[in-house]
Amino acid sequence: MSSLCLPDSLTPLLMHVEPLLAAADKYQLGEQVSVEWSESETVDIQIEERQFSLVFNQAEADIAGYKVLDQWIAPYPELCEIQQKVAADPSLVVCGLPTEKGCVDIWHHNGEARAVYCHHAGASEPQRAMLLAALALDYPLEDAVTLSRAHARGYFESHADGYGETGWPMTRELFPRPLTANHQEVDELGWSSKEVAVAPFVATDPAQLALYPVVDSAEWVERLLSMGVTTTQLRIKDPAEPTLEAQVKQIITAGNQHQAQVYVNDYWQLAIKHQAYGVHLGQEDLETADLQAIQQAGLRLGLSTHGYYEILRAVEFAPSYIALGHIFPTTTKEMPSKPQGLNRLALYQKLIGDQFPTVAIGGIDLARAEKVWRTGVSSVAVVRAVTQADDTQAAVDAFNQLLVRHEHTKDGDDAQ
């Protein structure tokens, strides 16, 4: 069990924190959290063996955790100034910084500042409560900040569509937008972005999405295509692999022969050079890959995501599909995040809705696939469930029989 220890000065937050933790418990969004009180002036959060603290509006505090600035008096600092301060201080979190048209929430990420922006800030105490509850539930900081703004915006609309009586924000209308190069107000706000603005990517064919094997050799791609697989991905982890380019050419030829959707993981330069169907990239690639070149070459783009903020950031670039993961523990790839689980997956699917196809990935086998499919995702990515099957064709056939979208489940089930 995790714990959230509040100082007496934050007693008013309890009326907001408890319903949020109850909703999280109902939807099984994390470990159970106990709320305690202390005479300290800091908020203390313990998750398993990890403990950190948080203070509000005490920039001079010396703590191991986060210093949140969220009460502002005019004249307000310039956004570019705050961006630089947060980039230089990993402990600094800025919430609700007023701008001419709305407010910005900012946090530190790997030496830079990231932010979300919206025109309507919402209520301040619910915002604080969700920030603390989400951190105690072990959401990463970027998701806790993003969720807290969505909850603040939805609090006064607790019976509105997309919020209902769940006490948990679900639809995108409530969420702020990440400040990226593709945001139409980024220049007006004075936010400096490492990404480059890019037009929407070519759509993938949703009719060919369902089973999506991710394999590590061109031989496997060819074998699966001959078994009737219509979407697959080549993921070779070693960029120094001497046959890399030859394998990329091989899968492109095979994809064209079978009229299949074959994606290249990571190696976007080779994908462009040989005119692949599509390329799959991670979040870190959004700042380093030449997205304009990929888009102008007519390639499809799939993007990996691992939570609320990354999903919303991916949406800004209008990819061909959004991958959601990792859902269950997996040994095929080292992951910086924890498994998301089915209930968080269901909420992520609601957040995306029908705007983009979605691919669930990570530790999915045939026994787990049905529950994953019921969340409403467009596709299920598998690795070992196919490549290590005793009978590969039988495994492919079993997945294909299962991954059929019936009318009564096409919108996905609620998290439960």
Is 128 annotated as a binding-site member? no
Is 180 annotated as a binding-site member? no
CB 155 within 8 A of CB 123: yes
Is 343 annotated as a binding-site member? no
Is 265 annotated as a binding-site member? yes
Is 233 annotated as a binding-site member? yes
* CA atoms lying within 13 Å on the CB side of residue 45: 22
CB 372 within 8 A of CB 364: yes
Is 409 annotated as a binding-site member? no
Is 204 annotated as a binding-site member? no
Is 332 annotated as a binding-site member? yes
CB 7 within 8 A of CB 36: no
DSSP 276: -
Can you tell me which residue has the tokens 């997945």?
399
b/e 266-293 (16+ beta carbons within 10 angstroms → b): bbbbbbbebebbbbbbbeebbeebebee
Residues 6 or more apart whose CB falls under 8 angstroms from that of 348 comprise 305, 307, 308, 311, 324, 340, 358
Q: Quickly list DSSP for 183-229.
A: STTHHHHT---SS---PPPPPP-GGG-SEEEEESSHHHHHHHHHTT-
Residues 6 or more apart whose CB falls under 8 angstroms from that of 219 comprise none
CB 209 within 8 A of CB 231: yes
Rounded Cα distance between 340 and 101, Å, is: 34
* CA atoms lying within 13 Å on the CB side of residue 213: 29
Is 230 annotated as a binding-site member? no
Is 42 annotated as a binding-site member? no
Is 235 annotated as a binding-site member? yes
Is 236 annotated as a binding-site member? yes
Is 266 annotated as a binding-site member? yes
Helices (H), 60-163: 79-88, 124-136, 141-154
Rounded Cα distance between 408 and 404, Å, is: 11
Is 237 annotated as a binding-site member? yes
* CA atoms lying within 13 Å on the CB side of residue 408: 0
**Residue ranges for the binding site for Mg(2+)?**
266, 285
Q: Which residues are annotated binding-site positions?
A: 233-237, 265-266, 285, 304, 330-333, 363
